[in-house]
Chain A
Amino acid sequence: MQRVFGSINIKSWKFLLTAAVLIVWIYCYVANGDVTNSVVASGMRFGMPLALASMVGIMCERSGIVNIGIEGTMLLSGFTGFYVASYTKNIIIGLIIAILTGMLTSFVHALMTIQWQMDQIIAGTIINILASGLTSFLYKEGSTVPNTWPIFDIPILSRIPFIGHAFFSQQGPIQYFGLILIPAIWVLIYKTRWGLRTRSVGENPGSADTAGISVIKVRMINVVLGGAIGGLVGGFICLELVGSFSKEFTAGAGFTALALMIFGRWNPMGAFAAAILFGLAQALSTQLQIFGVNNIPNQFITLLPYVFTILVLVFSAGKVRPPAAEGKVYKKEEA
């Protein structure tokens, strides 16, 4: 446990925050179980795409590449996934195409940043602008997908009191898949040879190179793998959560995901926890609106996620240490 969440310090404000959330959750559960369950479940639905999107950032940045093109990757893959699913009347093909699109988009990012050694933030911006231009130009109204993914309960796990309903009930398959994928990425980064290589390339590419690791290859593969996850998120949103494609549906989520990645200290489990917390806050504010706290104008409720994102960074950004070689072009020294 300690390895997963970093060293747990009772006085750390993150620990206190988690404890406070747990206490409020238990209190609400006792007071009104159904509403609490639905708020927590919708928090999971808000949080999972963000958690997965921050995995894209982690995969890239652990190997030293800053990817602010997550937004564009999700937009493009949601687009192709949705229209292919609509055309073939098959959402599985749609999802596969979404993942492939994500990989292709990230490959372009990798070409720009690794092969051509462009500035990484500008490269990501170009990906975002290209994705937005392409999808808005090719957008056609009135397409539908035959069906979205089924929503189901996981047999035994959903019966667990308290957490069962929140995590294992009334969600679609990609949502559940995320619960497996995120720990798997944690294992990949911290427990495998590949992960060790990735981290060494992200921290000190010079010594990694000396040790015989191909910096370019490791970075390329990580960025493209990250793109596959980005494609999955695009497909997840357009084919499972929403069931349609709308222009600019990402609405800054890619950047929020980066903030959550920083908050979670580039650790998959940390980013996951941050994303769930974020999703809960959003679900709670939506619920407050339903409960009729009417004196808050609608515009201000919709801007809460953005305020949360800034707050998340205000409390974490200066204190964490990003991978050391992040954002820097690696040039092999001539012998």
Chain B
Amino acid sequence: MKLKITRDALVPFASVLVALAIGAILIAAQGHSPVQTYHVLIVRGFESTAGLQATLSKAGILIMSGLAITVGLRAGLFNIGAQGQVLSGALAATYIGYRIHGLPMYIHIPVALAFGALCGALVGGFAGLLKATRGVHEVISTIMLNSIMAAIVDYLTQNQFRLKSQPNTRTPDMLHSARLPHIFGYPTGFVLAVLLAIFVSWVFKKTTTGFELETVGRNRSAAWYAGISVKKSIVLGMLLSGAIAGLTGGLFSSETTGYFVPTFYGGIGFDGITIALLGRANPIAIIPGAILIGGMRSAQSAIQFEAGVSPDLINLLLALVLFFATAPFLAKLIRSNSKSITTTSGWGS
């Protein structure tokens, strides 16, 4: 048993190595030094104190977005468009953060984050409702809602929510009482995210709701025969997934930037997909992947300035990691028997 667990863990590890090797070839092909690039990546992401703090902050956010996807996958829903929910949650939390005055920190932060989660849940829940009532597959509806939310958020930031005194498009700063504090420079969001991961894990292991969601995710007709309302579970699964995605956006605003610019949030929702698939939709197992990706993301701009390599290298590396970790040939090589994840298949409701 123990041996099997270590072999399963070897697969993502090996796929990171293979991805880095392929990345090195491509970097060299572009005329840069792979050694220097990876040196910058490691130093900026994991070695220096500042790098580690940035990495953990990013990792906390990515754990959350990974959890959003994980909750969906467990319920048999592929929330591929978590990005739109992240955006709406971020803007909503930022709005509460700068608009409401005079609240103490221990009320202001939860209210702002809860409002972010609510807005994310509305967007995700809408997709769930479309699936439950009209049979609209969430893969298509959430991708479309991504673009719709991006346009709405962009419009609001340019008009109603805009800080007029600044030439560039952004909202006013969140008040100090809505900003998540850092403890000795280390982000609290990371702790929150780990706690949330433990909570989600508990929900799926111990609660009836979690069991019902998972049953619907595994076998819809069996769930139906067992008397579980499939439609309710679909809506609930998307609501929860959307709420966590919205919370992710709110956390990012409150902890990192303190104000809202639509382009800040690029890729958080999509990295969540990579993280959830790497961790095989296990709320606890996604944490190491999120820390790794957090480090790569926080060193992203450094590899451009210090090694001259396009920051899109990180996107490529992550795509390769995902490919090698999910395609079974590395797993076969290592002789791991980990089961692959299945989502809903086909377009029928």
Interface residues of A (CB under 8 A from B): 66, 68, 112, 116, 118-122, 125-126, 129-130, 132-134, 136-139, 251-252, 255-256, 258-259, 262, 297, 299-300, 302-303, 306-307, 309-310, 313-314, 317-319, 321-322, 326-328
Shortest 10 CB-CB contacts between residues of A and residues of B: A327-B345, A318-B135, A133-B319, A327-B346, A133-B316, A136-B312, A303-B151, A133-B315, A137-B316, A306-B144
Distance, CA A177 to CA B341, complexed state (A): 40
Assembled-state Cα–Cα distance A177/B143 (Å): 30
Partner among B270, B323, B343, B346 whose Cβ is within 8 Å of the Cβ of A322: B346
Expressed in whole angstroms, the minimum distance between the Cβ of B61 and any Cβ of chain A is 19
B-side contacts of A256, CB under 8 Å: 144
Tally B residues with Cβ within 8 Å of A: 53
Pair B347/A322 contact, Cβ less than 8 Å: yes
Q: Which residues of B have CB within 8 Å of A309?
A: 140, 144
Chain A proximity of B312: nearest CB distance (Å): 4
Contact with A along B164-191 (1 / 0, CB 8 A): 0000000000000000000000000000
Is B285 an interface position by the 8 A CB rule? Answer: no
For the complex formed, measure the closest distance between the CB of B261 and the CB atoms of chain A, giving whole angstroms: 15
- Shortest CB-to-CB span from B205 to chain A, Å, is 23
Name 19 extra pairs, CB < 8 A, besides A121-B344, A297-B159.
A118-B326, A118-B340, A121-B343, A122-B326, A122-B340, A125-B273, A125-B277, A126-B323, A126-B327, A136-B316, A137-B313, A138-B26, A252-B143, A255-B139, A299-B152, A299-B154, A303-B147, A309-B144, A310-B140
Residues of B near A303 (CB, < 8 A) are: 147-148, 151-152
Are A139 and B312 in contact (CB-based, < 8 A)? yes
Report whether A258 and B140 are in contact in the complex, using a CB–CB cutoff of 8 Å. yes
CB of B347 within 8 A of CB of A66, answer: yes
Closest chain A residue to B23, Cβ basis: A137
Task: Enumerate 16 A-B pairs (CB-CB under 8 Å) in ascending A order.
Answer: A66-B347, A118-B327, A119-B345, A120-B345, A129-B270, A129-B274, A133-B317, A137-B312, A255-B144, A258-B347, A306-B148, A313-B140, A318-B134, A318-B135, A319-B135, A322-B348
Contact for A129 among B140, B147, B322, B342, CB less than 8 A: B322
Cα distance, A250 to B17, chains bound together (Å): 31
User: Known contacts A126-B326, A137-B312, A314-B130: does B147 contact A306 (CB below 8 Å)?
Assistant: yes
**0 or 1 for each of B21-33: is its CB under 8 Å from A? (1 = yes):** 0000010000000
Residue A297 contacts which of B139, B155, B310, B349 (CB distance < 8 angstroms)? B155
Is B80 among interface residues, defined by CB-CB distance under 8 A?
A: yes
**Bound-state Cα–Cα, A319 to B312, Å:** 42
- Bound-complex Cα distance A23 to B315 (A): 49
Residue B78 is within 8 A (CB to CB) of chain A in the complex: yes
A119→B140 contact, CB < 8 A: no
The docked-state distance in angstroms from the alpha carbon of A68 to that of B143 is: 11
Point out the residues of chain B lying under 8 angstroms from A327, CB to CB: 344-346
Complex CA gap A261/B256 in Å reads 42
- Interface membership of B42, Cβ < 8 A: no
Write out the residue numbers on chain A whose beta carbons fall within 8 Å of the beta carbon of B316: 133-134, 136-137
How far in angstroms is the closest Cβ of chain A from B134?
5
Residue B318 at the chain A interface, CB threshold 8 Å: yes
Q: Are the C-beta atoms of A119 and B349 separated by less than 8 Å?
A: no
Assuming the A-B contacts A132-B315, A300-B155, are A314 and B320 also in contact, with contact meaning beta carbons closer than 8 angstroms in the complex? Answer: no
- Give 1 or 0 for each of B121-137: 1 = CB within 8 Å of chain A CB: 00000000010011111
Shortest CB-to-CB span from B118 to chain A, Å, is: 21
B141 is an interface residue with CB less than 8 A from chain A: yes
Verify A317–B310 contact, CB threshold 8 A: no
Nearest A residue to B26 via CB reads A137
**Cβ of A316 to closest chain B Cβ, rounded Å:** 9
By CB atoms of chain A within 10 A, which of B130, B137, B273, B342 has the most? B137
Are A299 and B144 in contact (CB-based, < 8 A)?
no
B67: min CB distance to chain A, Å: 18
How far, in Å, is A57 (CB) from chain B's closest CB? 10
Distance in angstroms from B105 CB to nearest chain A CB is 34
Chain B residues, Cβ within 8 Å of A299: 151-152, 154-155, 158
Contact (Cβ within 8 A) B26 A121: no
* Residues of chain B lying within 8 A (CB to CB) of residue A137: 26, 310, 312-313, 315-316
Partner of A314 from the list B136, B159, B322, B323 (CB cut-off 8 Å) is B136
CA distance A121 to B135 in the complex (A): 17
- Across the interface, which residues of A come within 8 angstroms of B140, CB to CB? 255, 258-259, 309-310, 313
Does the CB pair B141–A310 fall under 8 Å? yes
Instruction: Specify which chain B residues have a CB less than 8 angstroms from the CB of A132 in the assembled complex.
Output: 315, 319
Let me know if B147 and A251 touch, CB within 8 A. yes
Question: Do residues A121 and B139 form an inter-chain contact, with CB atoms below 8 A?
Answer: yes
In the complex, which residue of chain B has the Cβ closest to the Cβ of A319?
Answer: B135
* Contacting pair A134 B345 (CB below 8 A): no
**A132 nearest in chain B by CB position:** B315
Shortest Cβ distance from residue B148 to the other chain A in the assembled complex, whole angstroms: 5
Q: How far is the CA of A307 from the CA of B66 in the complex (A)?
A: 27
Does B51 reach chain A (CB closer than 8 Å)? no
> Which residues of the other chain, B, contact A126 by a CB distance below 8 angstroms?
319, 322-323, 326-327
Q: How far apart sit A234 and B347, CA to CA, in the bound complex (Å)?
A: 25
Render B248-278 as a binary contact track against A, CB cut-off 8 A, 1 for contact. Answer: 0000000000000000000000100110010
**Within 8 Å CB of B319, what residues of A?**
126, 129-130, 132-134
Q: How far in angstroms is the closest Cβ of chain B from A271?
A: 13
Whether A133 lies near B346 (C-beta < 8 A) is: no
Interface-central residue, B139, B144, B315, B345, by most chain A CB under 10 Å: B144
Contact yes or no, A307 B148, CB < 8 A: yes
Contact A326 B346 (CB under 8 A): yes
Q: Say whether B144 contacts A252, CB under 8 Å.
A: yes
Q: Which residue of chain A is the closest to B313 with respect to CB atoms? A: A137
Bound state CA distance, A118 and B317, in angstroms?
A: 21
Q: Using Cβ atoms and an 8 Å threshold, which residues of chain A touch B315?
A: 129, 132-133, 136-137
Compute how far the CA of A303 lies from the CA of B149 in the bound complex, rounded to whole angstroms.
9
Task: Kindly identify, within residues 293 to 344 of chain B, every residue whose CB is under 8 Å from any CB belonging to chain A.
Answer: 310, 312-313, 315-320, 322-323, 326-329, 340-344
* Of the residues B158, B317, B349, contact of A317 by C-beta under 8 Å: B349
* Distance in angstroms between the alpha carbons of A318 and B131 in the assembled complex: 9
